[in-house]
Structure formats: C-alpha cells, structure tokens
C-alpha cells in the first residue's frame, strides 16, 4: 500500500495518464521532469498493481483501451513505439509498410512493426507482435508533425502509379481537415510527385 507521502504523487501521475486517454503508452521518462525516479517507480508500481495500467514490455506501460465485448484490448503498437522513442531520445518514423498499416491501406496484420530510427537497431516483443527499430539516416525526419511523416512514408510505399481513387480517398480520410494546412506547409520540401499528391489531399472537399 502506498505511503501517505507517495499518495499525492500517485494521484498526480494518474491524473496525467487519464488526461492522455486510453491507449496511451509511456515510461518513467514521461514524468521525470516533475518527480524523482524513485517516486515515479513507486507510483507506477502501485497503479500497475491496481490494474489501471499494465506493463507491456520492459519499462513501458499503457492505459489500455477497453471493449464491452472483448475487455482489455491489445496495446497500441504505434503508441508503444513512440513511448520507447521518448524513453531513449530517439527520432523515429514508420517504415513504408508500417505507415500503410497505420493508415488502413494494408489488409495484412503485421507480425513486425518496423520503424526507422536515428538510434541503434533494436527489437522489442509486445505480446505476439514485435517492434523493430532499424538504424537509418532519417531523410524525412525534419517534419514537425508525425502525420506528415506517416503520410509521406505511405505515399512513397504505394508508389506513384498505385494511388487509385480508393487509396486516395483512404489517405484523405486519414488526414483530419484541421491538420491539412499545417501538413501542406510541413511537407513543402518533399519529393515533387509526393508533394503533388499531398496538395491534392489537402484540397478542400
């Protein structure tokens, strides 16, 4: 049971977790600016024991999404990948195939989710799936928005000749209207044909 001294920290950390919503994945690093490492460790251990959060791989937790039919859902792999990236101060971007999966443009359920990283090449097991980080020179890492990187990688993976109307509409559906102007500005230095596709995606309906 948490001591009286640690209870306020438990509540503060729990409040931040609730604030990020179900599906959020995180590590101790995400709270390090406000609390000591020992306090965070104790708080997360207590919250994990209560069943509110769960440990999904070494040093990474999540606040699981729930389904009335299925109960706790599997971890959001993209969230876990970004939690790991924040933990180790890596910049990452999804590989082409991973971007297609995240945008619903691939019907295959991947056993491996591959991300390019400026950190070392590593692999992590999350349930029955694995996250693979491959060290690479991140040519498109200068984007301010994650959505920009996701979109560019998906478009490149599809290829210029494979973006038919159905795929185009799926890409457009995955790009919130509120972000279109920002993505358009963010990707303006991207390869010519890719940027032409993005300009079309960002046009007003």
> Which of 1-5, 14-18, 58-62 shows the lowest mean pLDDT across its residues?
1-5
**The predicted structure's pLDDT at residue 140:** 60
Residues 73-90 have a mean pLDDT of 96
**Do the Cβ atoms of 138 and 91 come closer than 8 Å?**
yes
Residues 95-111 have a mean pLDDT of 86
Q: Which of 128, 174, 129 is nearest to 147 (CA)?
A: 174
H or E, element range at 81: helix 77-88
> Rounded to whole angstroms, what are the CA distances from 123 to 42, 79, 120, 126, 134?
27, 15, 10, 10, 9
> Rounded to whole angstroms, what are the CA distances from 3 to 10, 38, 52, 172?
10, 13, 19, 51
Residues 137-153 have a mean pLDDT of 81
Q: Is 135 helix (H, G, I), strand (E, B) or coil?
A: strand
* d(C-alpha 203, C-alpha 205), whole Å: 6
pLDDT at 146 over 90: no
Q: Beta partners for 67?
A: 71
* d(C-alpha 123, C-alpha 134), whole Å: 9
pTM above 0.95, yes or no: no
């Amino acid at each position: 049971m948490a001591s009286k001294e640690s209870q306020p920290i438990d509540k503060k950390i729990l409040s931040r977790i609730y604030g990020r919503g179900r599906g959020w994945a995180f590590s101790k690093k995400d709270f390090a600016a406000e609390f000591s490492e020992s306090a965070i460790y104790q708080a997360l251990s207590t919250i994990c024991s209560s069943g509110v959060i769960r440990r999904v791989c070494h040093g990474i937790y999540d606040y699981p999404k729930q389904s009335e039919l299925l109960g706790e859902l599997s971890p959001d792999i993209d969230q876990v990948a970004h939690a790991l990236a924040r933990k180790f101060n890596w910049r990452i971007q999804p590989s082409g195939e991973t971007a297609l999966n995240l945008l619903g443009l691939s019907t295959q359920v991947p056993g491996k989710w591959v991300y390019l990283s400026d950190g070392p090449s590593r692999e992590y097991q999350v349930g029955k799936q694995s996250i693979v980080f491959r060290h690479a020179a991140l040519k498109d890492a200068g984007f301010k928005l994650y959505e920009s990187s996701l979109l560019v990688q998906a478009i490149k993976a599809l290829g210029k000749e494979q973006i038919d109307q159905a795929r185009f509409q799926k890409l457009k559906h995955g790009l919130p209207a509120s972000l279109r102007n920002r993505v358009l500005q963010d990707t303006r230095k991207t390869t010519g044909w890719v940027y032409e596709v993005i300009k079309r995606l960002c046009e007003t309906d």
